[in-house]
Amino acid sequence: AQSVTQPDIHITVSEGASLELRCNYSYGATPYLFWYVQSPGQGLQLLLKYFSGDTLVQGIKGFEAEFKRSQSSFNLRKPSVHWSDAAEYFCAVADNNNDMRFGAGTRLTVKP
């Protein structure tokens, strides 16, 4: 079965700084990969997803992620963080059997 690891529980960045959130997955075949964001008191919202094609995926709110098969990674990036980006971020991997696994999440704090 697939699994997801988000090594960073909590990250703090200054507003305007760049951001990279790490995600590593374990899966035998080519996975379906997702990044979701959860603001306090809200459900999860999809930022972007990847299955095949260009390994650099653009998402909403200025986020992008890069799939690196050799490193089993799907890291999320943003060039310039805004205070409204403070939230919890979840990486997820799915297979064709409808089994989606989520990472434990990374909480992002944005300093003024």
Q: Which residues bind another protein (CB under 8 A)?
A: 32, 34, 36, 41-46, 49, 51, 90, 94-98, 100-105
Minimum CB–partner distance for residue 32 and another protein (Å):
4
Minimum CB–partner distance for residue 68 and another protein (Å):
19
Minimum CB–partner distance for residue 24 and another protein (Å):
14
In the complex with another protein, the residue whose CB is nearer, 17 or 100, is 100
How far apart, in whole angstroms, are the C-alpha atoms of residue 74 and residue 65?
6
Question: Counting every residue, how long is the chain?
Answer: 112
Token pair for 37? 């964001």
In the complex with another protein, the residue whose CB is nearer, 70 or 98, is 98
Token pair for 59? 């998402």
In the chain, the amino acid numbered 61 is: K
Query: Is residue 105 within 8 Å of 89, Cβ to Cβ?
Result: yes
